[in-house]
Structure 1
Amino acid sequence: MRAVWSLWSKPLANGNHPGWYTDRHHLLSWILSFELARRHYQETVLITDDCGAALLVDGLGLEFGSVSLELNALADHDPNLWAIGKLYAYECQRAPFVHIDNDVFLWERLPPELERASVIAQSPEYVPYGGGFYRPESIEYAIHRHGGWMPETFESYMPISGIIKAENCGIMGGCRTDFIRHYASETIRFIEHPDNHAVWRSRPQLDQDMVLFEQLMLSACVAFHHGRPGSPYADISMSYLFSGHEDALERADACGYTHMLASAKRDPDLAAHLERTVSQLYPQSYLRCIENLAARTI
């Protein structure tokens, strides 16, 4: 199984450093995420653009096994569509893989049974319909209002007993890359469809909608195809490292897994711990990061 990371740099140029305490801690997270995972996975891949490669490879000196500039294709996209970089990365995979977010740190390799699974994610997410960042009813209303387009997988996805299921994609991948490419391609089409340009312009918090496109659309695609007669993906199901949020809180340390979610990135104590960890485990990379930031070369 290969380990894959992606970085679309345009949201960074737009001033979005995914919620980290400082720009420095954002860069330090890349060092730790990559260096830990490559202890377990010999094949490492970065999907990025020219600026992303300059930042991570030329600037930080991260030694990815291969680097693709696939995300140069997104140069004209709205930077609020931040999840589309990950979707492009998913779509171009042809062999079993795990995509690792830069705020995920794998102290241990993933369990063998998870690496053999069809489609994997960190954990399922269950939220009340209309709650949190998942607002499918709001997006569907906007599509009807502006004459937009939505895939059948999205239109037919209904909450069960008022609860929406989505997938936490801190890690995401699997062995059924045919299905993963299908999900990514359909979601990209949803985002890029010409009839939806006016829809997205009308969204006051388009950046928050992106969680739905990545994580809820994966659930919707699995639900649509699972058990469907004639579907090439009828046997698809999800497998998880954790059964839910509470399970992740209880067992993350035992599994050697850290995911610095949301407000954790902005916590000054956790930021200091991240900096100490990188400086102790990878002192040369740490110094390179600090020196380049001081010289404003990254």
Structure 2
Amino acid sequence: MKIVQSFWSGNLTDFRNSYGWLSYKYNWMSWLLSCHQLVKYHKEVELYTDRFGYEILITKLQLPYTKVHVILDDLNDYHKDLWAISKIKVYEMQNEPFLHIDGDVFVWESLENKFKDAALITQNLEITADCYIKMWNEISPNLSYMPIEIENYHKHTKNFACNMGVVGGNDIDFFKEYTKRSIDFVDKNRSSLPENNFHNFNLFFEQVLFYQFAKIQNKEINFLFDEVFDDGEYIGFAEFQEVPDKTYLHLLGVYKRNPHVCKAMEVYIMKNYPESYSKITRLINEAEGNQNEIEFLTKKKVDELISDFDLELRNNVSTSDNYLLKRDLYTEGLPRYLQRLLLNKEDFNIVLLDGFEQVFTTLDDQELSFLEIKELNSVSRKYDLDDLDEVILSEISEGIGYFDLIAKMYTHFDDDSQEAKNDFLMLINRMLTNYIVFKIIAIYK
């Protein structure tokens, strides 16, 4: 079962086009990480793209696809907002078992091994509730043609669709028929549907139609996740701090525009694929005409920066030279390290990091405070403080061992029952994890 991806520029050949991301640089970083992770766990990973995609992803970024098909320029008579049409065309081209993986999906295991015998596969089932209904009510009056499958949906709009961040399987005949219906659905409505409906129309000629056609054909769909999600309410798909224990991330929807999620993706790439990251930063520097990005990272340089930061932490020395970069590289992966230490009941040292300041404000005559945490080449983060935060961070301020911290925290706790103490300990551990994720503290053995 081969892995395929598709990138179609929609004839938007500006390197700085964001394609729905917070910034254009995160779009290209997403493709970099998605490809590298797929190649790491699969033998065949093929890219279908147009000439512009080839120029950026292959010629300039040199992503390690095993095969590249430059054939999607033929779609340029479609409106740029009909982005799913390229995916449909790529499904149609497949003549052997396949999995299509979106460019905002990242894996830390083989998907082929999970689904090599499955006829049809998608990421998960989702309820077409409020968001879908609102979009459909705007689209449907303008349609001049509905396939029978969509007529069924039209009668019962609170139904289901398949999230197709991952889609594929062994039933090639199904995909030939499904893609024929999907392309027909698009082509027969291109002249009647207003352009401002095109973007949302993608969900219906791809995801809704897939589910409805499989239902009519009485085909079983296998899902990567058994949980059924409400449309627009995907939680748990962007936690870089949990990989590789979490083996699948999908930065769909609002995650693409969340600066902290985007920054976490960037730091993961910096640490794990520094040479590839440097290729992107050189392109950014060319596009922006400046040198505000880290341009020459290597694995050796990353290791040196992390080692320097570790020594600075242990010796209570802080230097401004590359501090935020070193902090980011050091703390990436640290939440998982914390969980291993806690699981093994090992002691460790906890220190406050630099790079943030406490801000005081007043709301409704109540004094509040938060930490404003600096980010490298990104907006600052905000962490709201409550009374327990104040106590914990005060205890950590001079550096402290974990066991000593817990002992001191128990002195602030009145309930002596073991169950209450266990709950309190779990709360403290969750807060320590959050402090690491927000780059407020670091730990070391």
Tell me the TM-score normalized by structure 2. 0.58
Q: Which residue of 2 aligns with 1:48?
A: 49
CA contact under 8 A between 2:126 and 2:163: conserved in structure 1? yes
Corresponding residue SS for 2:283: helix
Deviation of the 1:17 alpha carbon: 2.6
Deviation of the 1:158 alpha carbon: 5.4
Q: Deviation digits for residues 213-241 of structure 1, max 9, x if unmatched?
A: 11111011111211xxxxxxxxx211101
- 2:124 corresponds to 1:132: no
- 2:5 corresponds to 1:2: no
Deviation of the 1:19 alpha carbon: 2.2
Q: Which residue of 1 aligns with 2:336?
A: none
Corresponding residue SS for 2:190: helix
Paired with 1:142 and 1:250, the residues of 2 have a C-alpha distance of 36
CA contact under 8 A between 1:4 and 1:45: conserved in structure 2? yes
CA contact under 8 A between 1:3 and 1:99: conserved in structure 2? yes
Letter in 1 for 2:209: M
Q: How does 1:53-202 map to 2 (within 5 A)?
A: 53-110=54-111, 112-128=113-129, 131-133=130-132, 135-136=135-136, 138-143=138-143, 148-157=144-153, 163-193=158-188, 196-200=189-193, 202=194
Q: Which residue of 1 aligns with 2:30?
A: 29
- 2:250 corresponds to 1:259: yes
The 3 A distance-change label for structure 1 pair 295 and 104 is same
The 3 A distance-change label for structure 1 pair 159 and 169 is farther
Letter in 2 for 1:204: N
Range with greater deviation from structure 2 (9-18 or 65-74): 9-18
Q: Deviation digits for residues 177-219 of structure 1, max 9, x if unmatched?
A: 22112211210111112xx23322x353321221121111101
One of 199, 202, 206 as aligned partner of 2:198: 206
Q: Which residue of 1 aligns with 2:208?
A: 216
Paired with 1:220 and 1:139, the residues of 2 have a C-alpha distance of 18
One of 223, 238, 260 as aligned partner of 1:240: 223
Structure with the larger RCO, 1 or 2 (CA within 8 Å, 6+ apart): 1
Q: Which residue of 2 aligns with 1:290?
A: 281
CA contact under 8 A between 1:115 and 1:174: conserved in structure 2? yes
The 3 A distance-change label for structure 1 pair 117 and 174 is same
Letter in 2 for 1:141: P
Paired with 1:257 and 1:30, the residues of 2 have a C-alpha distance of 15
Gaps of 5+ in 2: 289-445
Range with greater deviation from structure 2 (260-269 or 28-37): 260-269
The 3 A distance-change label for structure 1 pair 203 and 293 is closer
Deviation of the 1:163 alpha carbon: 2.4
Paired with 1:276 and 1:142, the residues of 2 have a C-alpha distance of 44
Tell me the TM-score normalized by structure 1. 0.85
Paired with 2:90 and 2:27, the residues of 1 have a C-alpha distance of 20
Seq. identity, %? 29
Paired with 2:69 and 2:234, the residues of 1 have a C-alpha distance of 32
Q: Deviation digits for residues 143-186 of structure 1, max 9, x if unmatched?
A: 2xxxx2222222233566x6210000111111112211221121
CA contact under 8 A between 1:105 and 1:258: conserved in structure 2? yes
CA contact under 8 A between 1:104 and 1:170: conserved in structure 2? yes
Range with greater deviation from structure 2 (12-21 or 40-49): 12-21
Letter in 2 for 1:24: K
Paired with 2:247 and 2:253, the residues of 1 have a C-alpha distance of 20
CA contact under 8 A between 2:6 and 2:87: conserved in structure 1? yes
The 3 A distance-change label for structure 1 pair 11 and 207 is farther
Paired with 2:10 and 2:72, the residues of 1 have a C-alpha distance of 10
CA contact under 8 A between 1:81 and 1:210: conserved in structure 2? yes
Q: Deviation digits for residues 1-33 of structure 1, max 9, x if unmatched?
A: 111110111264488533212111111111110
The 3 A distance-change label for structure 1 pair 94 and 207 is same
Letter in 1 for 2:162: E
CA contact under 8 A between 2:120 and 2:168: conserved in structure 1? yes
CA contact under 8 A between 1:242 and 1:248: conserved in structure 2? no
Corresponding residue SS for 2:287: coil
Paired with 2:7 and 2:177, the residues of 1 have a C-alpha distance of 21
Q: Deviation digits for residues 103-123 of structure 1, max 9, x if unmatched?
A: 110011227342321111110
The 3 A distance-change label for structure 1 pair 74 and 290 is same
The 3 A distance-change label for structure 1 pair 89 and 240 is same
Paired with 2:113 and 2:39, the residues of 1 have a C-alpha distance of 16
Letter in 2 for 1:132: C
CA contact under 8 A between 1:153 and 1:220: conserved in structure 2? yes
Paired with 1:16 and 1:172, the residues of 2 have a C-alpha distance of 26
Corresponding residue pairs, total: 278
CA contact under 8 A between 2:42 and 2:112: conserved in structure 1? no
